[in-house]
C-alpha cells in the first residue's frame, strides 16, 4: 500500500493512454496540490520512462497537456509525461495574487528563504524531491527521467538539471529565462523569495551554474525570434556566451517568426520528445 495518498480528479483517454489529474497534500508546500500525468499505453504492461515538464508564469498543470499536442508521439515512444503546478495554491499570502510574475502561478522553482514565502514557496524541493517520491509510489515508472519546460519552466528545467548532475538523462527548454539574476522577472521574484543575498540567487541561475561548473550536461534550447520577451527577460544570448566561454555543450535553435506562445511549443515539441527518447531509451 502506498504511503502517500493521491486522489484522481479526472481521466481522459488519449492515443491509447491516459491523461489524468491528481490532487494530494504537499508537506513541502503545506497546501493541497494538483498535478497532471500522461501514461502511454505501454504503461499497462511495463514500467516506462518519464519526462518532467515545468510550465511558465500564470500556467497550471493543465496548459501543456491541453495545448502542446505531445500525447500522440509520447504514446508511440512509450514515454510518460508529468506536469506539476507552477506554485503553491490556496495559501492567500499578502500580495500573492496581485502580479502575474510573482506569487500565485509564479513559484520560479526556488526554495524561498524569506517570510512569509518560505512556509509555502519551496517549489524546487517539491519538483525535485517530494513529487518524484510520490509518483514513484503510484505509477509504473522505470526510474529513467528527463526534464523540459517553457519560459519560467524552462528556467526551472535548466536549473534542476544543472544543480543535480546525473539526475536527469537529458534536459531541454523552450524560451527559458536564462539569466534571472539580471532580468526584471527574476529580480522581482528572487528579491521577494530569497532576499538580498545574490549569492543565493545564483544557485537558481543557469548561467551562474554553468560558470560554476556544477554540471557538464548538454543543453537543448528552443527560442522563437519574434518572442516579445526575448531580449529583456529571456536573454538566450547570455546563455550562449556563457556556454561558449565555459565550453559547455549547447544546441540553441532560433526559430524565425515564432513567439512565446504554446503555438511555438506545439510546433517543436516532437523534436524534443525524440531528443529525450534517445536518452530515456538508451541501453
Domain ranges of the chain: 20-281
DSSP 209-243: HHHTT-----EEEEEETT-TTIIIII-HHHHHHHH
How far apart CA 90 and CA 211 sit, in angstroms, is: 37
So what's the pLDDT on residue 1?
Answer: 37
The set of catalytic residues is 151, 227, 260
Average pLDDT over the chain reads: 96
Confidence of residue 2 (pLDDT cuts 50, 70, 90): very low
So what's the pLDDT on residue 103?
Answer: 85
**Backbone region of residue 247 per phi and psi (left: phi > 0; alpha: psi in -120 to 50; beta: other values):** left
Q: What is the mean pLDDT of residues 262-278?
A: 98
Q: What is the mean pLDDT of residues 107-125?
A: 97
Confidence of residue 99 (pLDDT cuts 50, 70, 90): confident
So what's the pLDDT on residue 283?
Answer: 65
What topology does CATH give the domain 20-281? Answer: Rossmann fold (3.40.50)
Contact 48, 78 (CB under 8 A): yes
Check the CA dihedral 133-56-83-206 and report its sign: negative
At a CB cut-off of 8 Å and minimum separation 6, what does 103 contact? 87, 93, 95, 96, 97
Unique residue bearing C-alpha cell 517543436: 268
Q: Is the pLDDT of residue 161 over 60?
A: yes
pLDDT digits (tens, 9 = 90+) for 67-94: 999 999 999 999 999 999 999 998 988 7
pTM for the model stands at: 0.97
- Phi then psi for residue 247, to 5 deg, are 55, 45
So what's the pLDDT on residue 96?
Answer: 81
Percent of the residues in the chain that have a pLDDT greater than 90, as a whole number: 93
pLDDT digits (tens, 9 = 90+) for 218-268: 999 999 999 999 999 999 999 999 999 999 999 999 999 999 999 999 999
At a CB cut-off of 8 Å and minimum separation 6, what does 111 contact? 118, 121, 122, 123, 124, 125
Q: Is the pLDDT of residue 104 over 50?
A: yes
Percent of the residues in the chain that have a pLDDT greater than 70, as a whole number: 99
How far apart CA 268 and CA 275 sit, in angstroms, is: 11
So what's the pLDDT on residue 42?
Answer: 98
So what's the pLDDT on residue 98?
Answer: 84
Amino acid at each position: 500500500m502506498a504511503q502517500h495518498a493521491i486522489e484522481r480528479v479526472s481521466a481522459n483517454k488519449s492515443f491509447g493512454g491516459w491523461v489524468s489529474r491528481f490532487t494530494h497534500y504537499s508537506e513541502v508546500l503545506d497546501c493541497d496540490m494538483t498535478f497532471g500525468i500522461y501514461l502511454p499505453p505501454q504503461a499497462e504492461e511495463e514500467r516506462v520512462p518519464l519526462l518532467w515538464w515545468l510550465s511558465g508564469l500564470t500556467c497550471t498543470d493543465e496548459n501543456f497537456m491541453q495545448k502542446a499536442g505531445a500525447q500522440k508521439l509520447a504514446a508511440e515512444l512509450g514515454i510518460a509525461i508529468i506536469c506539476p503546478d507552477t506554485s503553491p495554491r490556496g495559501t492567500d499570502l499578502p500580495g500573492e495574487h496581485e502580479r502575474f510574475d510573482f506569487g500565485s502561478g509564479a513559484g520560479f522553482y526556488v526554495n524561498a528563504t524569506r517570510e512569509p514565502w518560505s512556509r509555502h514557496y519551496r517549489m524546487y524541493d517539491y519538483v525535485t524531491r517530494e513529487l518524484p517520491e510520490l509518483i514513484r509510489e503510484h505509477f509504473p515508472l522505470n526510474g529513467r527521467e528527463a526534464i523540459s519546460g517553457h519560459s519560467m519552466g524552462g528556467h526551472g528545467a535548466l536549473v534542476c538539471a544543472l544543480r543535480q548532475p546525473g539526475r536527469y538523462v537529458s534536459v531541454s527548454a523552450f524560451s527559458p529565462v536564462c539569466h534571472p539574476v539580471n532580468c526584471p522577472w527574476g529580480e522581482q521574484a528572487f528579491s521577494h523569495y530569497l532576499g538580498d543575498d545574490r549569492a543565493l540567487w545564483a544557485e537558481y541561475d543557469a548561467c551562474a551554474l554553468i560558470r560554476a561548473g556544477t554540471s557538464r550536461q548538454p543543453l537543448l534550447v528552443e527560442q522563437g525570434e519574434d518572442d516579445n520577451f526575448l531580449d529583456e527577460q529571456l536573454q538566450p544570448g547570455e546563455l550562449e556566451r556563457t556556454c561558449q566561454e565555459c565550453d559547455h555543450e549547447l544546441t540553441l535553435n532560433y526559430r524565425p517568426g515564432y513567439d512565446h506562445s504554446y503555438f511555438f511549443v506545439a510546433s517543436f515539441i516532437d523534436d524534443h520528445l525524440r531528443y529525450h527518447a534517445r536518452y530515456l531509451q538508451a541501453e
